[in-house]
Structure 1
Amino acid sequence: MRPIIGITTYEMPASWGVWRDLPTTFVPTDYPAAVTLAGGRAVLLPPDDLDADVLRALDGLVLAGGPDISPRLYGAEPGMHTATHPERDQAEIRLVHAALDSDLPVLGVCRGMQLLVAAAGGSLHQHLPDVLGHQRHRPGPGAYGRHEAVFTPGSRIAGLMGEDLTINCFHHQGVADPGELIVTGRAEDGLPEAVEDPGRRFLLGVQWHPEVGRDKRIFGALVAAAERS
């Protein structure tokens, strides 16, 4: 049986066919496709803040990208550029803490990495152009920024990426303090792009979007860890 990998989802208005602005639960197909290609069975998780019991049915968890996380998760007030989805924050931070408590294999992508940082006691820069003086991490609507990353030798992400150092980003917030996690990848401007906890079975956060290229290395590592659950 393939490992069952839960993927967190968006809950936003969407339009298709004759329907317009219908409240919808969804996630880009790249996420479940990447899990399937890596040998897992993808299951989509709508926001649900009542409990985290669903984790008992899962072998691994993907925290998908999406809107800004609430700065209140790391003890700050929202800035003028921060737009949050409180219902998703409440549901996902509950999942994160429960997954960490049970040492469930977890991959955080973009927003998902930022959730891991918040859960680990870290914090974020709420608007990178104010800190870095450029917009190369989110160059324009629907346009990924491309960076050459530097990975820490001997880290999990360095072993997975090998000589491939190019990453594709779309985010305007970034890690200021990783908390209890270890930064193992940075963009050329020094911004953290990967965090992990080598003391856990599999806990990896990447600020870029490996699902877009169906990156079998990263999703395959998650599925492999989930097989040993």
Structure 2
Amino acid sequence: MTRPVVAITGPMRGAFGPRFMVACAVRMYGGKPLQVRPGDPIAELSYDAVVVTGGHDINPVLYAAEPEVQPKYDAERDALETAVIDDALARGLPLLGICRGAQLLNARRGGNLFQELKSHRKMTSNRWTILPLKTLCLESDSWLASLLAAPTCKINSLHNQAIDRVGDGLRIVGRDLDGIIQAVEDPSRPFLLGVQWHPEFLLFLRRQRRLFCALLQACRQPRSGSG
């Protein structure tokens, strides 16, 4: 059987660690990673699924908002990942958005973001950590809860923005202890998932590896739906 090709998006330079770890997970479950960067000819590339990795905040113009903070933006990356997400949505491809990837997916579906989170935190730390020190609370009837096989689990946290208004067709399926959205999914799709944490840094946990296993399994299923 042909190995499914998984497009892994990211910036022109850097982000070696996340890219490498996602690629390892893709290979672990029988896929072939395809690293995609700004400037690559998207229309000429062939892939069966997409992972949009984390990184700099997305430009608020993409969800029709004025800047409230002064983070670093990457216009070329925003353009690349917008095109890849739109292509995956149009063709019904399995898509996993990680951190900024979840945020951009939400924006492409018409949602918006909290541009800073410090003022929204009461019970959780605003500290960034790759270690699984924060609690994820899952909706019991969600696909993600069935995949992770637990009502709660531990996750890491490397973000300073998060989903506010949820985009069309997306359902909130996970929050942290402050109620900040940590996961969204589209119940009408075999695999359309956005997670605010970084599962690629938690591959030592079987539960987190299941996300990538399910992505590759979805590549081998008939496609359904678009938009």
Q: Verify: 1:73 aligned to 2:62, yes or no.
A: yes
Alignment-derived partner of residue 225 in structure 2: none
Q: CA deviation at 1:66?
A: 0.7
Q: Secondary structure at the match of 1:67?
A: coil
RMSD over aligned Cα atoms: 2.2
2:167 aligned to which of 168, 171, 179: 179
Q: CA deviation at 1:25?
A: 8.2
Alignment-derived partner of residue 152 in structure 1: 139
The answer to which structure has the higher strand fraction is 1
Say whether the 8 Å CA contact 1:74–1:118 is kept in structure 2: yes
Q: Percent of pairs identical after alignment?
A: 37
Q: Verify: 1:161 aligned to 2:148, yes or no.
A: yes
Say whether the 8 Å CA contact 1:129–1:135 is kept in structure 2: no
Q: Verify: 1:170 aligned to 2:158, yes or no.
A: yes
Q: Verify: 1:228 aligned to 2:186, yes or no.
A: no
Give the distance between the partners of 1:27 and 1:104, measured in 2 at CA: 21
2:106 aligned to which of 100, 110, 117: 117
Say whether the 8 Å CA contact 2:29–2:212 is kept in structure 1: yes
Give the distance between the partners of 1:144 and 1:112, measured in 2 at CA: 20
Say whether the 8 Å CA contact 2:124–2:178 is kept in structure 1: no
1:34 aligned to which of 25, 32, 51: 25
Q: CA deviation at 1:26?
A: 8.2
Q: Secondary structure at the match of 1:6?
A: strand
TM-score by length of 2: 0.87
Say whether the 8 Å CA contact 1:136–1:145 is kept in structure 2: no
Q: CA deviation at 1:99?
A: 0.9
1:104 maps to amino acid: L
Say whether the 8 Å CA contact 1:148–1:188 is kept in structure 2: yes
Give the distance between the partners of 2:164 and 2:172, measured in 1 at CA: 11
Give the distance between the partners of 2:57 and 2:80, measured in 1 at CA: 14
Q: Secondary structure at the match of 1:100?
A: helix
Q: Note the residue ranges of structure 1 that are not aligned, 5 or more in a row.
A: 15-23
Q: CA deviation at 1:39?
A: 2.0
Q: CA deviation at 1:224?
A: 0.3
Judged with a 3 Å threshold, the aligned counterparts in structure 2 of structure 1 residues 209 and 144 are, in CA distance, closer, same or farther, namely same
Give the distance between the partners of 1:155 and 1:122, measured in 2 at CA: 20
Q: Residues 1-229 of structure 1 correspond to what in structure 2 (within 5 A)? A: 1-12=2-13, 28-48=19-39, 51-54=42-45, 57-132=46-121, 136-137=125-126, 139-140=127-128, 144=131, 146-163=133-150, 165-180=153-168, 181-214=170-203, 215-229=208-222
1:30 maps to amino acid: M
Q: Secondary structure at the match of 2:164?
A: strand
CA deviation profile, 1:72-110 (whole Å, cap 9, x unmatched): 110012222432101100111111111101111100001
Q: CA deviation at 1:165?
A: 0.9
Q: Secondary structure at the match of 1:108?
A: strand
Q: Note the residue ranges of structure 2 that are not aligned, 5 or more in a row.
A: 223-227
Q: CA deviation at 1:48?
A: 3.1
| Alignment length (residue pairs) | 215
